[in-house]
Amino acid sequence: MEVGFPTIKSRKLTIVNHIPISKTLKFWEGLKEGKIYTTKCKKCGTIFFPPAGDCSKCYSSDMEWIELSNEAEIETFTHILVRPATFQHYEPYTVAIGRLKEGVKVLAWLTGAKLSEIKVGMKVKLVAKVTPEGEPTYEFQPI
């Protein structure tokens, strides 16, 4: 920030939200076991990713859990150098959107590939994992 003009500092406030995950718990638990589950509407058959407790197509709340295949094809990607304040402790990272066999798409980090080697249309696999901080997540990896 530019200095030079007089300012008053606001009081410092730290905000942490507690985000409910009851309706998608199986997804978050599954990641810890290396599995990627998502929901499918029992009434109209729509598969959702991200998983949803309610169907936005037919408004049914009768959903079943299915396990996703791990094969994906990259539709687009970027490599983020200027990172948000809370991502400063990471090295620059690559984010991709991949289409799975089931038709749903996933946005996640793509690790283990050089930027120059990544191409639209490239086949990758989607892998569940737990971060060093113990947070469940998922990422794409080259095959």
Q: How far is the CB of 88 from another protein (least distance, A)?
A: 7
Determine, following the binding rule CB under 8 A, whether residue 137 of this chain makes contact with another protein: yes
Q: Which among 112, 126, 143, 142 is positioned nearest to 27, based on CA atoms?
A: 126
Secondary structure (DSSP) of 15-67: -------GGGHHHHHHHHTT--EEEEETTT--EESS--SS-TTT----EEEEE
Residue 44 found at the interface with Zn ion (CB under 5 A): yes
Can you tell me the distance from the alpha carbon of 41 to that of 48, in angstroms, rounded to the nearest whole number? 8
40 binds another protein (CB under 8 A): no
Q: Would you count residue 16 as binding another protein (CB under 8 A)?
A: no
Q: 29 contacts which partner out of Zn ion, another protein, none, CB within 5 to 8 A by kind?
A: none
Options 57, 58, 76, 112; binder of another protein; rule CB under 8 A: 76
Q: Count the neighbouring beta carbons within 10 Å of the beta carbon of residue 36.
A: 20
Q: In Å, how far from its chain's centre is CA 34? A: 15
The C-alpha atoms of residue 29 and residue 65 are separated, in whole angstroms, by 12
Out of 32, 34, 53, 58, the residue judged to bind Zn ion by CB under 5 A: 58
Q: Does 89 bind another protein (CB under 8 A)?
A: no
CB of 7 to Zn ion, least distance (A): 53
Residue 81's Cα: distance from chain center in Å? 18
Residues that bind Zn ion (CB under 5 A): 41, 43-44, 55, 57-58, 60
Residues that bind another protein (CB under 8 A): 1-2, 4-5, 7, 10, 19, 49-50, 75-88, 90, 93, 95, 97, 104-109, 115, 119-121, 131, 135, 137-138
